[in-house]
Structure 1
Amino acid sequence: MDIVKVLVTGGAGFIGSHIVDELLQHGHEVTVVDNLSTGQLQNVHPQAKFLKVDIYKDDLNPVFAQGFDIVIHHAAQPNVPRSLKEPIIDAEVNILGTIKLLEACRMHGIKKVIYASSAAVYGTPVKLPIPEEHPLSPLSPYGISKLTPEYYLRVYHEIYGLRYTILRYANIYGPRQNPKGEAGVVAIFVDQFCKGQAPTIFGDGEATRDYVYVGDVAIANRLALTAGDGETLNVATGKKVSVNELVRILLSITKKDILPIHGPVRPGDIVHSTLSNERIRQVLGWEPQVTLEEGLRRTVEWAQAQAALEEV
């Protein structure tokens, strides 16, 4: 495969940095732009070029003048509660920031955009597992702001010929996920178990989610460099895992004897969410490589190593 020059927005973040690693491992040239609002410089691979840039506030022309083939777009306001408190900021970053990016792509002859969307675009499931053609009814400003750029991508393709692949992520977990703020439940639980703290389960713990290891997500992005044009694809395992099962596995890995605390069900929480991955299997030839047990073990080991570094 030819070397591709890739710009990864949000490449200092949790998912973006793993994508950077995957691309470099396969010989591609990678430039990262990130404003470091949630990303961390230490996440960026030393072989990647790093530019501190805010895609919404800064002029993108000097960045794009360096010449890229493909843009992988992960820079975003990722916090659902913040989108409820500050919907204007959420829309500025996720919608207007993406439009600015697409304009730069148009003006500088970018061949393709790979866009990180979210299961949040679906809202409450009417069938499980959720296929890509499921009704789109987001329940938060965040869900709306992740869905809206999908329409812009299709329009930029129709009018300007800009190729795209949209990847709708299930619940991504793995090393480098920050347990603070709007983190995934895995990052929060791992952090608590490593500190000997009891995790809080909201409700009876039988709510289910679809957990995908971040390294598998990185592979999906790499495969989309050369396939999946014009496609919208779920990145998911298609397997439902309850919160209770998640806790059971983590207790086994960490060898902790901690009883979780049960709290009331949070208003607005979806009870069950699992995404179908049949389409991405067909289109990209992608399938999850890392089992939940193995992915959680890697995540725990990373968290323990981080804790050891902080103690030094």
Structure 2
Amino acid sequence: MRALVTGGAGFIGSHLTDALLAQGATVTVLDTLTSGRRERLPEDVDLRQIDITDAPAVTAVIKELRPEVVFHLAAQIDVRASVVDPAHDSAVNIGGTITLLEAARTVDARLVFASTGGALYGMDAPIPSDERVPPAPEAPYGTAKYCAEQYLALFNRLYGTRHIALRLGNVYGPRQDPAGEAGVISIFCGRVHEGQEPIVYGDGTQTRDYVYVGDVVTAFLAADASDQGGTWNIGTGRETSVLDLIKHIGQAAGRETAPSFAPARLGELQRSTLDATAARNDLGWFPLLSITEGIDRVYAWIREGRSDRTTP
């Protein structure tokens, strides 16, 4: 199989690249290396430093490589940044996706898109939320991801393609930067390891559906193996509060951990959890790792030096 992975030098994308290479696929990575890191990838991987909003460059590389599948993970992922600059967020998350769809159509490639579940369903959604819940995002990031999903669905109707959108929960695991803007588990583990307090925005009772990166990679592979097009949630169906995270991290660190508190941030939900029953039924996918096991792995990764080549 010939595969293209946008955002392949990122946290999730690099793990997916490794899994595809292990299956014998020919893989090319597109990444600006703005937040992605070359060190996360095997030395001999084909890396093209191209922005997905650069339509001529994207079209040229897809026509050159003629991939059978494009795994589209490149994105502007910071919810707070989307509130500050929604135009940039939409240019990357909507415009970049359209560019890839148009380029993929020239070589009859399929697109598997990393969408969001956590930022899409809105504050009044039932818990857990399934794919039938009407999206009501609270920030430009979720709005842009939903709009990009609609373009995938439109192309499926217009051109008979079988593009797939995976609505991911809050993905965590090794290689997620503890000093980054997203990824509360890695950030908290990093602070606790350094003897600092985790900073909780709000009262800490807010919940998310935390899904381990290794399970997310298997979801992408299952989506590619399917002959269906459509949209599926990828999550655990379990709520975990921020305060619960801190308790689990303290257990992993072997000491009690107390947070400091700061005001809640604009555009963030109080509760979010995904019902992934459809992914189990349609794709044969389900998560394997518990939150406690996953946090143990993240804390061990940080304690051991945060290698960019750690496997999930």
Q: What TM-score comes out, normalization by structure 2 length?
A: 0.93
Secondary structure at the aligned position of 1:183 is classed as: coil
Secondary structure at the aligned position of 1:296 is classed as: helix
Counterpart in the other structure of 1:12: 9
Instruction: Measure how far apart 1:266 and its partner are.
Output: 3.4
Counterpart in the other structure of 1:62: 60
Counterpart in the other structure of 1:272: 271
Between the aligned partners of 1:230 and 1:220, the Cα distance in structure 2 is 14
The answer to whether residue 80 in structure 2 is matched with residue 74 in structure 1 is no
Change (3 A) 1:34 1:118: same
Change (3 A) 1:73 1:308: closer
Counterpart in the other structure of 1:301: 300
Counterpart in the other structure of 2:222: 223
Between the aligned partners of 2:285 and 2:270, the Cα distance in structure 1 is 27
AA in 1 matched with 2:160: G
The answer to whether residue 50 in structure 2 is matched with residue 53 in structure 1 is yes
Between the aligned partners of 1:268 and 1:160, the Cα distance in structure 2 is 35
Q: What TM-score comes out, normalization by structure 1 length?
A: 0.93
Identity, % of aligned positions: 40
Between the aligned partners of 2:4 and 2:93, the Cα distance in structure 1 is 17
**8 Å CA contact retained: 2:209, 2:235:** yes
1:1-312 pair list within 5 angstroms: 4-57=1-54, 59-64=57-62, 65-110=64-109, 112-119=110-117, 120-227=119-226, 229-306=228-305
Change (3 A) 1:106 1:308: closer
Between the aligned partners of 2:178 and 2:240, the Cα distance in structure 1 is 20
Instruction: Measure how far apart 1:139 and its partner are.
Output: 1.2
Between the aligned partners of 2:81 and 2:262, the Cα distance in structure 1 is 22
Deviation track 1:143-202 (CA, whole Å, cap 9, x = no partner) reads 111111111111111222221111001111111112334212112101101111011223
Change (3 A) 1:203 1:77: closer
Instruction: Measure how far apart 1:306 and its partner are.
Output: 2.7
Deviation track 1:182-225 (CA, whole Å, cap 9, x = no partner) reads 21211210110111101122333222111100010000001111
Instruction: Measure how far apart 1:48 and its partner are.
Output: 2.9
Change (3 A) 1:176 1:125: farther
Segment drifting more, 180-189 vs 256-265: 256-265
Instruction: Measure how far apart 1:10 and its partner are.
Output: 0.4
AA in 1 matched with 2:217: A
Deviation track 1:113-135 (CA, whole Å, cap 9, x = no partner) reads 10000021212242110011101
**8 Å CA contact retained: 1:7, 1:70:** yes
AA in 2 matched with 1:133: R
**8 Å CA contact retained: 1:81, 1:182:** no
**8 Å CA contact retained: 1:20, 1:45:** no
Between the aligned partners of 1:203 and 1:95, the Cα distance in structure 2 is 30
Between the aligned partners of 1:196 and 1:280, the Cα distance in structure 2 is 40
Instruction: Measure how far apart 1:262 and its partner are.
Output: 2.7
Secondary structure at the aligned position of 1:60 is classed as: helix
Instruction: Measure how far apart 1:254 and its partner are.
Output: 0.9
Between the aligned partners of 2:239 and 2:257, the Cα distance in structure 1 is 24
**8 Å CA contact retained: 2:247, 2:256:** no
Secondary structure at the aligned position of 1:306 is classed as: coil
Between the aligned partners of 2:65 and 2:200, the Cα distance in structure 1 is 48
Secondary structure at the aligned position of 2:39 is classed as: helix
Secondary structure at the aligned position of 1:193 is classed as: helix
Between the aligned partners of 1:101 and 1:307, the Cα distance in structure 2 is 32
AA in 2 matched with 1:24: L
**8 Å CA contact retained: 2:161, 2:229:** no
**8 Å CA contact retained: 1:5, 1:68:** yes
Between the aligned partners of 1:31 and 1:133, the Cα distance in structure 2 is 35
Between the aligned partners of 1:140 and 1:6, the Cα distance in structure 2 is 32
Instruction: Measure how far apart 1:91 and its partner are.
Output: 1.1
AA in 2 matched with 1:201: V
Change (3 A) 1:308 1:141: closer
Unaligned runs of 5+ in 2: none
Unaligned runs of 5+ in 1: none
Instruction: Measure how far apart 1:308 and its partner are.
Output: 9.0
Segment drifting more, 196-205 vs 215-224: 196-205
